[in-house]
Amino acid sequence: MRPHHLKQSAELLAAILGGARAADKQMESYFRAHRAMGVRDRAEVAETVYGCLRHRRLLAHCAGEDAAALVAAYLVREGSSARALAEAGFRGDARALVGCLRTLDPRALPLAVAASLPDWLAAELQAEYGDEASALAEALNQPAPVDLRVNTVKARREEVQERLAEEGFEADATPFSPVGLRLRQRAPVFHSRAFKDGLIEVQDEGSQLVSLLLEPRRGEMVVDFCAGAGGKTLHLGALMANTGSVYAFDVSAARLERLAPRLARSGLSNVRPVVIAHERDERAKRLHGKIDRVLVDAPCTGTGTLRRNSDIKWRSVDLEALRAEQARILDAAARLLKPGGRLVYATCSLLREENDAVIDAFLKARADFRVVPAAAILSRRRVPLDTGDALRLLPHRHRTDGFYAAALERTA
Ligand SMILES: C[S@@+](CC[C@H](N)C(=O)[O-])C[C@H]1O[C@@H](n2cnc3c(N)ncnc32)[C@H](O)[C@@H]1O
């Protein structure tokens, strides 16, 4: 361990935990402000800080909440000795820290501490997933694999797999998504020719299955109501073989802007990004009753994505406000549909309140909608996965992010 490693990691960790910005954004600006740091230093610091965010509560059990002590505890878990910590400038009691961590038995600790979760989330997972809560929580602390979606407008999966292998990126077909590849090792695939040529997008396999549930057809009018940077939009456009129209709505102009370069790479010309002020915007109202299919990938707690975004565990959450927002967006999105049209409501949340509860309330209010069983759609799409009426993906079972998606049809 180099001495500055501990200091810089602690500075960055404190900035992330004390600020409101996402960890990756905070990290970018820290590295911009410390240009002298080499590539290796940055990689080491980033790995350490992400490790601390992931295991914060377990580390704090021995180290307390001070950022430098958390970093020191993380380094001990990675094999550093008390002496190495002292040499690196750690001013706390390095020997006591090492002693505590070496004798720690996570099985004897409450789930919230052992799996480093806030109390409220540990309680929700235990209530909802019972005996599986520990395995789920543990899977949320493992780094996610790198999944790719093949852009079928440009190439077939096997061709892309070969192209990637030629460039030194070994990948296997994903078990569920027919257009997914999973890298055997984490690698900077953004630098590959295949990526620059628009043959692939980096996208979790679970996210790919959500777009499949919408089953958009050639020539249809489709709305991706919460398009963000367009991960699912691009997939929908490709599923429609670059025909018809996909309106990509979002209230965030900044997020939609990130769709532009991806769109250019993809070769799609059927996607129309539209910034809306809110879900009742005139630009949305103009499409009332005219749309064949609508995807609502709603803003949510993101609890299903903790493998990638451990920092969100430590942000405060207003579940009631989120639920109200989800219901408002779903209601507005449903109005766009033609009779016979399909609506998919999805979240990357593990919580019932944001998933089944939102759909149950919607169906109570809208007798003109019925559930289309997800398992039947997936089987038609040759996806070997049956999670019942709704799609429910869990990292410890499916090796994807946690996702929920329900498909509904407007009957009258
Ligand atoms: C889960 S993210 C979408 C991710 C995106 N679909 C993807 O696959 O990458 C939710 C998005 O909803 C947007 N959003 C929040 N409130 C909204 C509203 N009232 N109407 C439309 N979009 C909204 C957010 O800006 C955010 O980009």
- Distance, CA of 348 to CA of 147 (rounded, Å): 16
Q: What is the mean pLDDT of residues 305-312?
A: 95
Pocket lining: 250 vs ligand 1, CB cutoff 6 Å: yes
What is the residue whose two structure tokens read 């002292």?
86
pLDDT for position 42: 94
Share of the chain above pLDDT 90, in %: 96
Distance CA 157, CA 199 (A): 9
Give yes or no for residue 336 having a pLDDT over 90: yes
CB-count burial class (<10 Å; 0-12, 13-18, 19+) for 53: buried
Distance 100 CA to ligand 1 centre (A): 43
Ligand 1 and 231: CB distance under 6 A: yes
Residue 358 has pLDDT above 80, yes or no: yes
CA of 300 to the centre of ligand 1 (A): 9
Ligand 1: atom nearest CA of 249 is 21
Tell me: the pLDDT tens digits for 360-382?
A: 999 999 999 999 999 999 999 99
The b/e string for 121-155 (b: 16+ C-beta within 10 A; e otherwise) is bbebbbebbeeebbebbebbbeebbbbbbbbbbbb
Q: Rounded to the nearest whole angstrom, what is the distance from the C-alpha of residue 271 to the centroid of ligand 1? A: 16
Average pLDDT, the chain: 96
Nearest atom (ligand 1) to Cα of 224? 6
250 annotated as belonging to a binding site for a ligand: yes
Measured in degrees and rounded to the nearest 5, phi and psi for residue 344 equal: -115, 125
Pick 224 or 5 by higher pLDDT. Answer: 224
Residue among 209, 212, 251 whose CB has most ligand 1 atoms within 8 A, to mutate: 251
Domain ranges for the chain:
3-104, 147-202, 205-410
User: Is 389 marked within a binding site?
Assistant: no
How buried is residue 357: exposed, middle or buried, by Cβ count under 10 Å (0-12/13-18/19+)? middle
List the residue whose alpha carbon is closest to atom 20 of ligand 1.
279
Report whether residue 226 contacts ligand 1, using a CB cutoff of 6 Å.
Answer: yes
Atom of ligand 1 lying closest to residue 229 CA = 9
Run of H or E residues at 147: strand 147-150
pTM: 0.95
Check if CATH label 3.30.70.1170 holds for domain 147-202: yes
> Is the predicted pLDDT of residue 13 greater than 70, yes or no?
yes
18-58 pLDDT per residue, tens: 999 999 999 999 999 999 999 999 999 999 999 999 999 99
Whether complex ipTM tops 0.95: yes
Write down the pLDDT at residue 27. Answer: 96
Give pLDDT, residue 3: 59
pLDDT band of residue 412 (cuts 50, 70, 90) is confident
Please work out whether the CB of residue 279 comes within 6 Å of at least one atom of ligand 1: yes
Q: Is the CB of 227 under 6 A from ligand 1?
A: yes
Residue 100 appears among annotated catalytic residues? no
Residue to mutate (ligand 1; options 205, 211, 214, 226; most atoms within 8 A of CB): 226
**Beta carbons of 52 and 13 less than 8 angstroms apart:** yes
Calculate mean pLDDT across residues 152-166: 98
Instruction: State the CB neighbour count (10 A cutoff) for residue 283.
Output: 12
Report the nearest atom of ligand 1 relative to the CA of 329: 19
pLDDT (0 to 100) of residue 2: 65
- Please give the pLDDT value at position 1: 63
290 CA distance to ligand 1 middle (Å) = 21
User: Which residue has the CA at smallest separation from atom 25 of ligand 1?
Assistant: 252
Interval 52-80: pLDDT, tens: 999 999 999 999 999 999 999 999 999 99
CB 182 within 8 A of CB 174: yes
- Ligand 1 close to Cβ of residue 330 (< 6 A): no
| 329 Cβ closer than 6 Å to some ligand 1 atom | yes
* DSSP character string of 267-331: T--SEEEEE-SSTT-HHHHTTTTTEEEEEEE-----GGGTTT-GGGGGS---HHHHHHHHHHHHH
295 pLDDT higher than 80:
yes
> Is any atom of ligand 1 closer than 6 Å to the C-beta of 201?
no
Class of domain 205-410: alpha beta
**Res. 228 pLDDT band, cuts 50 70 90:** very high
Alpha-carbon Rg of the chain, whole angstroms? 23
pLDDT at 256: 98
Q: Taking residues 265-284, what's their average pLDDT?
A: 97
Matching residue, tokens 């980033």: 46
Kindly report the backbone phi and psi dihedral angles of residue 32, in degrees, each rounded to the nearest multiple of 5, phi listed first: -65, -35
